[in-house]
Structure 1
Amino acid sequence: MVALAIFSTGLFAQKNNTSNVQRPKLVVGLVVDQMRWDYLYRYYDKFQNDGFKRLLNQGFAVNNVHIPYIPTYTAVGHSSIYTGSVPAIDGIPGNDWYEKSLGKSVYCTEDESVQPVGTANVKVGSQSPKNLWSTTMTDQLRLATNFQSKVVGVSLKDRASILPAGHNPTGAYWFDDSSGNFVTSSYYMKQLPKWVNDFNAKKVPDELVKNGWNTLLPISEYTESSPDNSPWEGLLGSAKTPTFPYNNFAADYQKEKDNIRTTPFGNTLTLKMAEAAINGESLGADSVTDFLAINLASTDYAGHKFGPNSVEVEDVYLRLDRDLGDFFKYLDKTVGAGNYTVFLTADHGGAHSEGFMEAHKMPTGFYGEGAKKMYNQLLKDKFGVDKLVLSYTNSQIYLDNKLMAENKLNEDEVKDFLINQLNQDKSILFAVDMKKVAQSSIPEPIKTRIMNGYNWQRSGDIQIIYHDSWLPSYSKLGTTHGAWNSYDSHIPLIFMGWGITKGETNKDYKMTDIAPTISALLKIQFPSGNIGNPITEVLGK
């Protein structure tokens, strides 16, 4: 394959004539939600040349990238990718967590001080990055250019648009299930820009779903997947079985617009919105570097619904491959081949379905059903005090410190007792006091990943690590993620375009190395909480 001609073209200076800093016109971050690393090669023979293969053949593939913390969830992943940091520092330990100081569960981007823009749905629109403590590489680009750079975040998910776009972007937009439109909040602006209103007015989702959902290729060619209608798959919309074709999907979308999230059309919609952002904000059109942060979320929704070995998930990836090819051609045409830099990665992977594992004689099982109630009963029987467990979230147990103090209970004694009980559970590999992880007999890399994921103000008191391939009881259909194991933590990472050399490496790297690599490419300061290092092999000389 011939590499992109990117090393002698597309070099230019900033608007400030005193600076000759060379940067690309545009950086595009593509985060494919729940994309396991092995998908690159499981479906490789069915990919066309313009999407994933273009990235692999013209870019630099970093094949041994792992997430250095737990839990491996969406908000945590996007925060880590863009801050180069971990929950202990950047303040995002989960999609949700129990905030003891508030006495309630908190969603990662919720913000009651802001109002919805573009929707009447208060819950959908009351969102901002206020819970993120560290700056992002997008923040640092804005700072480095005295806020001349434009930064836009786009996703079906609020958190996957908001957290990558940082604290002071040009805009962040996400999908509103109640209206079928992309919306934002008053944190960013008072009203939607004209280009967003124009895009929403086109009713792109209606057009995408009008013919239902059938396989891109003849279904007999989906040899990388389990038979259609496997018993561990969930149901989509009004379908009675998880089988193609989904002929009633257009009607299902009109009834419940969130249904589009679980199909390849959600990714298509997101990339069309990204193209509208490039045109509407003139991204990459002048000498000041801009940044477009895109999350492709339908891969995650489909994975949760059907599991990694389903025909549905394979079809989502084959169609995403075509969509990426079209998007790269759009970038070539509008920004110019050789003038932009792309990186593609994932926020986390995903486990095989429990039913799939059992059917193929692999170790598996379910855990956690009625956990909070059970743990409270254990403590009540031992200490005579009820409701000592406030929450069981992110595989962490939150204890009521105030209630323990009121009843003159020794906190360490309570934790030690519960941990000893937990370690008798056949589903549990380790249970550990979050404050004593460093002194525990837990092997690496699990020990460090627990410490990196422990935010002392927002995480629980006891961390539970379950046996390999055991899933929470709510995932009896489809799958989920969140564990330290390779199926959840081993993610793809490919760079392509301006300033990127061609090649690959199998050296050990971390998700936290992405932000400093892009920062080094752009010659900007690392994000404030960064703990990663630039992947120097990637950067062209």
Structure 2
Amino acid sequence: MPNFIRLAPVALSVTLAAAAHAAAPQPLSPPAQPKLVVVMVVDGLPNEQVLRYRSQFGAGGFRRLMEQGAYFQNAHQAHGVTVTAVGHATVLTGAYPYMHGIVGNNWIAAGTKESMYCTEDREHTYLGVKTQPSDGTSPRNLRVNTMGDELRYSNGNQSKVVTVSGKDRGAILLAGKTGTAYMYADDTGQFMTSTYYMKSYPQWVTRFNEAKPADQFYGKSWTPLLPAAAYEHDADDDLVAPRATGEERNRFPFAMASDSGQLDSKYYNRLRSSPFLDKLTLDFARAAIAGENLGKNPAGVPDVLGISLSSHDYINHAYGPESRASHDHLQQLDRLLASFFTDLDKSVGLDNAIVVLTADHGFPNTPEFYQSRQFDAGRVDGKKLVADLNAHLAATYKLVKPVTAYLLPNIHLDYEQIAQAGLKREDVEQAAVRWLAKQPGIADAYGRTQLENGAVPRTRIGTLMQRAWNRDNSGDVMLVMKPYWIIGGGKSGTTHGAPYAYDTNVPLFMMGKRWIKPGPSGAYTEVQDIAPTLSYLLGVRPPAGAEGRVLAEFLQK
């Protein structure tokens, strides 16, 4: 028989009273929150470059992130179409493209069969700047919310979410539905927003633009930062960027000027492919911190600053990540980050902030570089490929131009004509898939019926491509390039967008002394993990489409 302890009635009543008092709800101290969350995206930075050049970094930029933050070296943009808009849409939504709806920088709109730009919204225009119909002016096409949206919802919109980028899509897709996005105007060298966000500029933005900071670089040159010996293992310029007749501008030193000899749009556009646009972007971020009092919110709630640095993408497109230009730009960016972190420490205090740095996608080397090392690599003329596919399907099924539109890797078929001919759409899709898979540079393809039914191969590549496909915005056939092959003509430069590690593996740093344990990690991680992790630290629910996990093993207790 159990040996229960019996209490006298009086003692029992006293004990129960004490227990009731102890069980009474006590005020809970909310967990410490950062005053500012800074989310940085380096456009087109493969993690491979960070590792390859790490010994040359200075003390305060990437090295600071490595030493004081968590460094996830096996982090991936875990979807199959690795381009700027898709990657930026992923960072703070935690969603895959099939959910957030941003399937490319552009896609073919289902109704019109015309190209739709990712942040296009013809109901809004740039504020005070000439706007083309397909310019990026709002997050209308983003189908889910962001961590910043959830933060603002949780405290009655008292948190401020401000983003800035050299590209409209870089700023808009980080800002979510309720933040405020600013982007570089390469016609004027100023930073602008759109009527989606406001009717007039705050005074701090007007002051920044009136100072014409972009003009300071006119007549200056971008020259290598390090001694010549530091670049001895980089690819030869003549291999990755052969000169056209009379071309003098694709070699160091890169002159910041224009043919007219005046400050004009060609000059402001030229800044994009240099460290100077990154400096301007970070300077605007500094102005935003001061102008909006970010990190000093009077309501005592956290603010969010999103910064997308665009230049590395432009440089890698032109020269490849194996080039001296790309190598030096990363070193220049490292020093710019060091200066920015120093200023952030003075204005807000890094002990009061969480800093996240990642990339929207990686980059392959140029096909010519791969070929020089005996890889099967090359370029595919997309226009010819689709024309030949059209001819093949037309001849096979006696159809007239069955391919109605394309923005590779997506191809759209004329389902109405196919039905009128008494054909099954799946049969035509699979005929296209079989033909494409036999073409040089093409590894595989998937049809709409396969993708709708989740019938793609259960491989890593199949999974990534399934995640990248959205039933409304994607095509009827989606192709996959072979490793080291790209879509595009010409004889120089490279591009991204593939499901291979060189395009998916990006750096991911998270730094915040009070919240993040420092140290390296080789565990598989996804960029989709950023939003759930930040949401957890901020004490708000994850964004609606988030499918990543909280990186709990690197959080301080």
TM tier relative to shorter chain: over 0.9
Show the counterpart of 2:12.
none
1:112-511 map, 5 Å: 112-123=122-133, 127-169=137-179, 171-227=180-236, 229-233=237-241, 240=248, 242-247=250-255, 249=257, 251=261, 254=264, 256=266, 257-286=268-297, 287-369=300-382, 370-437=384-451, 442-474=457-489, 476-497=491-512, 498-511=514-527
1:513 aligns with 2:529: yes
1:102 aligns with 2:116: no
Amino acid paired to 1:42: R
1:114–1:126 contact (8 Å) kept in structure 2: no
TM-score (ref. length: structure 2): 0.90
Please give the alpha-carbon distance, in whole angstroms, between the structure 2 residues aligned to 1:126 and 1:160. Answer: 10
User: How far 1:403 moved relative to its partner?
Assistant: 2.4
User: How far 1:540 moved relative to its partner?
Assistant: 1.1
For residue 318 of structure 1, give the secondary structure of its aligned residue in structure 2: helix
User: How far 1:472 moved relative to its partner?
Assistant: 1.0
Gaps of 5+ in 1: 1-16
User: How far 1:266 moved relative to its partner?
Assistant: 1.1
1:253–1:259 contact (8 Å) kept in structure 2: no
Show the counterpart of 1:14.
none
User: How far 1:419 moved relative to its partner?
Assistant: 1.6
Show the counterpart of 2:19.
none
Please give the alpha-carbon distance, in whole angstroms, between the structure 2 residues aligned to 1:33 and 1:234. Answer: 24
> How many residues are aligned here?
522
Show the counterpart of 2:8.
none
Please give the alpha-carbon distance, in whole angstroms, between the structure 2 residues aligned to 1:314 and 1:154. Answer: 24
Change (3 A) 1:218 1:198: same
Please give the alpha-carbon distance, in whole angstroms, between the structure 1 residues aligned to 2:464 and 2:101. Answer: 15
Deviations 1:178-229 (A, max 9, x none): 11111111100001111111111122112134422111123332134223x3
User: How far 1:235 moved relative to its partner?
Assistant: 7.0
Please give the alpha-carbon distance, in whole angstroms, between the structure 1 residues aligned to 2:130 and 2:28. Answer: 47
1:32–1:347 contact (8 Å) kept in structure 2: yes
Show the counterpart of 1:47.
57
Larger Rg computed on CA atoms: 2
Amino acid paired to 1:534: V
User: How far 1:120 moved relative to its partner?
Assistant: 2.6
Please give the alpha-carbon distance, in whole angstroms, between the structure 1 residues aligned to 2:257 and 2:371. Answer: 31
Amino acid paired to 2:67: N
Please give the alpha-carbon distance, in whole angstroms, between the structure 2 residues aligned to 1:99 and 1:530. Answer: 25
For residue 92 of structure 2, give the secondary structure of its aligned residue in structure 1: helix
Change (3 A) 1:284 1:239: farther
1:518-533 map, 5 Å: 518-533=534-549
User: How far 1:155 moved relative to its partner?
Assistant: 0.1
Task: Tell me how large the CA RMSD over aligned residues is.
Answer: 2.0
Gaps of 5+ in 2: 1-26
Please give the alpha-carbon distance, in whole angstroms, between the structure 2 residues aligned to 1:213 and 1:53. Answer: 23
Please give the alpha-carbon distance, in whole angstroms, between the structure 2 residues aligned to 1:172 and 1:368. Answer: 36
Amino acid paired to 2:405: S
Show the counterpart of 2:14.
none
Please give the alpha-carbon distance, in whole angstroms, between the structure 2 residues aligned to 1:368 and 1:531. Answer: 36
Please give the alpha-carbon distance, in whole angstroms, between the structure 2 residues aligned to 1:475 and 1:130. Answer: 35
Deviates more, 1:131-140 or 1:464-473: 464-473
Please give the alpha-carbon distance, in whole angstroms, between the structure 2 residues aligned to 1:221 and 1:472. Answer: 32
User: How far 1:126 moved relative to its partner?
Assistant: 5.5
2:219–2:256 contact (8 Å) kept in structure 1: no
Choose from 84, 88, 96 the match for 1:78. Answer: 88
For residue 172 of structure 1, give the secondary structure of its aligned residue in structure 2: strand
User: How far 1:444 moved relative to its partner?
Assistant: 1.5
For residue 292 of structure 1, give the secondary structure of its aligned residue in structure 2: strand
Deviations 1:320-363 (A, max 9, x none): 00000000001100001300100110000001001111112222
Please give the alpha-carbon distance, in whole angstroms, between the structure 1 residues aligned to 2:207 and 2:456. Answer: 58
1:156–1:270 contact (8 Å) kept in structure 2: yes
Amino acid paired to 2:228: I
Deviations 1:223-258 (A, max 9, x none): 34223x32322779x952521112454659745121
Show the counterpart of 1:10.
none
User: How far 1:488 moved relative to its partner?
Assistant: 0.2
Identity of aligned residues (%): 36
For residue 338 of structure 1, give the secondary structure of its aligned residue in structure 2: helix
Please give the alpha-carbon distance, in whole angstroms, between the structure 1 residues aligned to 2:136 and 2:305. Answer: 22
Deviations 1:386-426 (A, max 9, x none): 22112222312111222222333321121122222122223
TM-score (ref. length: structure 1): 0.92
Please give the alpha-carbon distance, in whole angstroms, between the structure 2 residues aligned to 1:224 and 1:54. Answer: 25
User: How far 1:307 moved relative to its partner?
Assistant: 0.9
Please give the alpha-carbon distance, in whole angstroms, between the structure 2 residues aligned to 1:212 and 1:376. Answer: 48
Please give the alpha-carbon distance, in whole angstroms, between the structure 2 residues aligned to 1:234 and 1:191. Answer: 46
For residue 343 of structure 1, give the secondary structure of its aligned residue in structure 2: strand
1:345–1:491 contact (8 Å) kept in structure 2: yes
1:306–1:477 contact (8 Å) kept in structure 2: yes
Deviates more, 1:424-433 or 1:89-98: 424-433
